[in-house]
Structure 1
Amino acid sequence: MNLEEKLLHGDKRACARLITMVENNQQEAFEIIKNHYNKTGNSYVVGITGPPGSGKSTLTDRLTRELLNRGKKVGIIAIDPTSPFTGGAILGDRIRMNDLSLNKNVFIRSMGTRGSLGGLSKATQGAIKILDIYGVDYIFVETVGVGQSEIDIVKAADTVLMVMVPNLGDDIQAIKAGIMEIADIFAINKSDIDGADKTQVEIEMNLDLNEEMDYRPPVLKVSARKKEGISQLVDSILDHKEFLEKTGKLKDRRKRNTEIEILNLVEEGLMNIIFSKMKRKAIFDEIIESVMSRELDPYTAKDQIIKLIK
């Protein structure tokens, strides 16, 4: 069987190889996605985000085990910081979940951010589609934990789970600044330590300020290390999934995400065309020098660059 056929037959190695090809921008992988795009849309994507040190990896591990107990097949995309030396992912998440990766119903992949400022790898959308075709029921996308720039997760996920911990100090300030708006569920991890109740109250009070919510995010206390509250957290994910499906908001959310994805792909394609032409004509440096010397302004420079693709 070729790579495409192996993927359709649930071959883990084929899935891993195709995700690598997506990361390396190899056209063959995208052709396979094109050929089987009608098989996508069945996996439910859960984004797991939150500040560094909140225990996202351990919680993802526990959630996966709970779904396995419920007879589900799970894919995990763990977005890791990119190594400054190799350009590859620092495989912390994959090492921590090593025993889980041996399960036939679990696929785990660490991906480097490769300079993406949104906390997600640029190849994440492609990897999600490969896993969808591969046939998992749920896909967890765990972000790198870089603070407010992580809001990109909302462009890929059906449900966004925000993981918080007590006593971070500036955690509530961070979510006030914008992160709070993207969360569908809040999980206060490490809730066995002091301060969990206070953090829960503060989050609830912030939620009270928004009277226009059509779905109030639940705020749950969990302990991934002690395996406490995990079943209830999975139930909350399923409740949100049911709400989105019944109200038609899942279709709306996916339509918005599809629009964003297409626009990003078009933008990337246009940029490649522009830079290719500028490189050939060796005019980019000339434009930069002209702007630097004030012979040209940046807005006119932009107009000149855009004319290259007309």
Structure 2
Amino acid sequence: MTRSLAELIDSMLAGDKKSLAQLISLAENESSTLPEILEILQPHCGKSCRIGVTGPPGAGKSTLIDKLVTRIRDRGQSVGVIAVDPTSPLSGGAVLGDRVRMRRHYLDEGVFIRSMATRGSHGGLAKAVAAAVSLLDAFGTEVIIVETVGVGQTELSIAQIADILVLVLVPESGDDIQALKAGILEIADIIVVNKADREGAQRLVDEFRAVLAYGHGKTEPSVIPAQAVNDIGIEELYQEVDKRCKSC
């Protein structure tokens, strides 16, 4: 390991956000030094609560995360957000829509937000996200939230590194059983039916509760109706996340 890299790691462990960002960039770019970096940082990991948030496009995940971050910060905990964005067809970089929605948190020293582009590679993405989560953990971040795009293989990969998996759906999702086929419902810890003021929302909540009450392989998931844009259901979501974090 070069002296500059060792200094970068030491600086990150001392609380320097710029060094953290540089190390995450190495993870994104699949640096050959990454395995060594993660091995060095391993003793510093294992203290954070890791939350995966997934669901179809348009479900309001970013707004919900924005509100959840506020609740977490109100309790004095530090937060890291890794937002997996679609890749821009022009630049090849992340569209950064999630960071725009969470812009009010940028000046908060207790919040770190990073967007990562899909770049058409789910396997590489999963490794980069896992590494970024480990880096945030070693940095001392108390709660780490990973937001992923859509419902598919990437989400199943994220579930492997998350302590808690939150699935966000909308009333229109009731006619779309792709989530069931993808296996997400089987591993979700919390299901949020967002935009619950829309027609069919309560029916979907009731259906999920009925289905999940039978044959679920672990603790029965919580089903929470919410209107993230109006801050409705967010406190209940926070309480449920906090309870599960404490039992991790």
Verify: 1:38 aligned to 2:43, yes or no: yes
Partner residue in 2 for 1:151 = 156
Ranked by relative contact order (alpha carbons within 8 Å, sequence separation 6 or more), the top structure is: 2
Structure 1 contact 114–121 (Cα < 8 Å) conserved:
no
Verify: 1:195 aligned to 2:208, yes or no: no
Partner residue in 1 for 2:244 = 240
Matches within 5 A, 1:1-310: 2-117=7-122, 120-145=125-150, 147-149=151-153, 150-171=155-176, 173-177=177-181, 178-210=183-215, 212-243=216-247, 245=248
CA distance in 2, matches of 1:99, 1:214: 37
**Cα gap change, 1:102 to 1:30, in 2 (>3 Å):** farther
CA distance in 2, matches of 1:43, 1:207: 28
Structure 1 contact 54–165 (Cα < 8 Å) conserved:
yes
Give structure 2 stretches of 5+ with no counterpart. none
Task: Determine which structure has more spread, i.e. the larger CA radius of gyration.
Answer: 1
Q: Aligned residues: percent identity?
A: 43
CA distance in 2, matches of 1:36, 1:201: 44
Report the secondary structure of 1:17's partner residue: helix
Partner residue in 2 for 1:263 = none
Instruction: Report the alpha carbon displacement of residue 28 of structure 1 after superposing the two structures with TM.
Output: 4.1
* Segment of structure 1 superposing worse, 111-120 or 80-89: 111-120
Structure 2 contact 118–125 (Cα < 8 Å) conserved:
yes
**Cα gap change, 1:56 to 1:240, in 2 (>3 Å):** same
* Segment of structure 1 superposing worse, 149-158 or 115-124: 115-124
Instruction: Report the alpha carbon displacement of residue 98 of structure 1 after superposing the two structures with TM.
Output: 1.6
Instruction: Report the alpha carbon displacement of residue 90 of structure 1 after superposing the two structures with TM.
Output: 1.4
* Segment of structure 1 superposing worse, 185-194 or 70-79: 185-194
Give structure 1 stretches of 5+ with no counterpart. 246-310
**Cα gap change, 1:47 to 1:214, in 2 (>3 Å):** same
Give the AA of the match of 2:54. Answer: T
Partner residue in 2 for 1:256 = none
Please tell me the root mean square deviation across aligned C-alpha atoms, in Å. 2.0
Instruction: Report the alpha carbon displacement of residue 148 of structure 1 after superposing the two structures with TM.
Output: 3.3
Q: Give the TM-score normalised by the residue count of structure 1.
A: 0.73
CA distance in 1, matches of 2:238, 2:227: 13
Give the AA of the match of 1:63. Answer: L
Structure 1 contact 120–153 (Cα < 8 Å) conserved:
no
CA distance in 1, matches of 2:208, 2:54: 16
CA distance in 2, matches of 1:30, 1:94: 28
* CA displacement, residues 195-225 of structure 1 (integer Å, 9 cap, x when unaligned): 2101101111221342x53300010111110
Query: How many residues in Structure 1 have an aligned counterpart in Structure 2?
Result: 241
Structure 2 contact 96–115 (Cα < 8 Å) conserved:
yes
* CA displacement, residues 204-252 of structure 1 (integer Å, 9 cap, x when unaligned): 1221342x53300010111110011212111111222344x4xxxxxxx
